[in-house]
A = this chain, B = another copy of it.
Amino acid sequence: MKKNILVIPGDGIGPEVTTWGKAILEQIAEDFGHEFTFDEALMGHAAIEATGSPLPDETLEKAKQSDAILFGAVGHALYDNDPSLKVRPEQGLLKIRKELGLYANLRPILLFDELLNASSIKPSILKGTDILFFRELTGDVYFGEKTLSEDRNTASDLMIYHRYEIERIAHKAFQAAMQRNKRLCSVDKANVLESSRLWRATVQAIAKEYPEVETEHMFIDNAAMQLIKDPKRFDVVLTANLFGDILTDEASQIAGSMGMLASASIGDGTGFFEPIHGSAHDITGKDLANPLASILSVALMLEIGFGLKEEAKTVVAAVDKVLKEGFRTNDIADGTTNPYKVLGTKEMGKLVLK
């Protein structure tokens, strides 16, 4: 298979981790006889520094031409500390999601048995958890009109949904539920928000087309609680952009660490694959970042992007093997880990590669 992959390392630990995602892709190509060609492009703070724009036209052009995108992270303390800056790294990520029509963000909560103890949640609560989040990615308060009054005393963001936006991701989520345990939980705040009431009514209507799927509706506040109280009760979770952002970060504690979670953004065209973690400026350049989320993003690219199931399995199995052998990065080392087996980004990347 011939594929043309764009790597966008981005900011912070982005470059450190995508290096290993890319290396894994090269290895897979060699082992399975595929031809993967790579290009690279700028986004985020790195792009602002170089071109003034968080998403240069060139990056967007390359992205549209490619068969899949491997992305790292964007963000920088500079902007976090100064809310008045007008040009911001995250705008690049939001714009590329919108421009590529990446309306469905799939975030599987993959739980490796070896990491059961790395979580702050009790192993007995976690064991057997297997959740697939569908987070809507191109609507909601992320993309509604923003205002800042002239006196800078009032600011607003419009939380807005159109029925078709809810329908298309709902279909994807129900279809996934049919392939899994046939349970779907839609999360909203319909007791307060008009946009959530549209969300709920739309999902209720679509649920009728999937009578085999047991559908439930839950308020976001309750879901944030249930997710850690009894994660096993969830199979597919369908939710809006903002609620999905919050719930999936929270769910990273189920998998032991944010450093373990990968995501696939799909929609109208090219797929976009990225860890759910951010740029993590506090550990940037220290060889401390966990490359496994990037490596697992590659597994999602192979499976969802290219339909290469065997290849994807090989990658997940390699990660599993390294964990079984007792190797850990800092974020997933628990009190019982042999200190000699706690590795930096590079060593961990190399081990999985082998």
Contacts and interface: CB of A to CB of B under 8 A. Distances in A.
A250 B230 contact: no
A147 interface: yes
Contacts of A122: 120-122
Contacts of A162: 153-154
Interface string A79-93: 110011000101000
Interface string A212-227: 0000010011101101
Interface stretch (A17-25, A98-106, A186-194): A186-194
* Chain copies in the assembled complex: 2
Interface string A274-286: 0000100000000
Interface footprint category on A = 35 or more
A224 B200 contact: no
A88 B195 CA distance: 15
A345 interface: no
A314 to B, nearest CB: 30
A5 to B, nearest CB: 27
A329 interface: no
Interface in A58-90: 75, 79-80, 83-84, 88, 90
B190 A83 contact: yes
Contacts of A146: 193-194
**Considering the complex of A and B, which 5 residue pairs feature the smallest CB-CB distances, nearest first?**
A83-B197, A155-B198, A221-B249, A156-B160, A224-B250
Interface of A: 75, 79-80, 83-84, 88, 90, 94, 120-122, 125, 141-142, 144, 146-148, 152-164, 189-198, 200-201, 204, 217, 220-222, 224-225, 227-230, 242, 245-250, 252-253, 258, 278
